[in-house]
C-alpha cells in the first residue's frame, strides 16, 4: 500500500471537500519534490518564506531545463 494512502488512513482522511483538496495539493507537492530529488521541507520553507518576501519571489515545482537534461540523458 502506498505510504501516502497509509498516512491518510491513519490520520482519518479529510472530512470536507476543501480538506480533500488541501490534502491532494500537499501530496502532489510531496510527490513532485521526491520525483525531482528535492527536499520537501526545504521547498515548503522556501514557499512559505516567499509569501512575505519584499520581492515576492516564486518557488516553482516545474523542473528547469538542467533538470530535464539530467533525468533524460
Q: How far apart are CA 55 and CA 64, in angstroms?
A: 21
Q: List Cβ neighbours of 34 (8 Å cut-off, separation of 6 or more).
A: 40
Kindly give the residue spans of alpha helices, DSSP state H, lying in 1-73.
Answer: 3-11, 17-35, 40-51, 65-71
Q: What is the pLDDT of residue 73?
A: 45
Q: What is the pLDDT of residue 13?
A: 56
pLDDT tens column, 36-50: 999 999 999 988 888
Number of domains in the chain: 1
Q: Which residues of the chain have pLDDT under 50?
A: 69, 72-73
Q: What is the pLDDT of residue 29?
A: 93
CB 33 within 8 A of CB 61: yes
What is the span of the domain harbouring residue 11? Answer: 3-71
Amino acid at each position: 500500500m502506498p505510504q501516502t494512502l497509509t498516512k491518510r488512513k491513519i490520520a482519518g482522511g479529510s472530512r470536507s471537500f476543501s480538506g480533500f483538496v488541501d490534502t491532494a495539493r500537499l501530496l502532489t507537492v510531496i510527490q513532485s519534490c521526491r520525483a525531482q530529488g528535492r527536499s520537501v521541507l526545504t521547498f515548503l520553507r522556501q514557499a512559505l518564506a516567499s509569501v512575505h518576501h519584499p520581492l515576492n519571489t516564486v518557488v516553482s515545482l516545474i523542473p528547469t531545463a538542467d533538470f530535464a537534461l539530467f533525468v533524460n540523458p
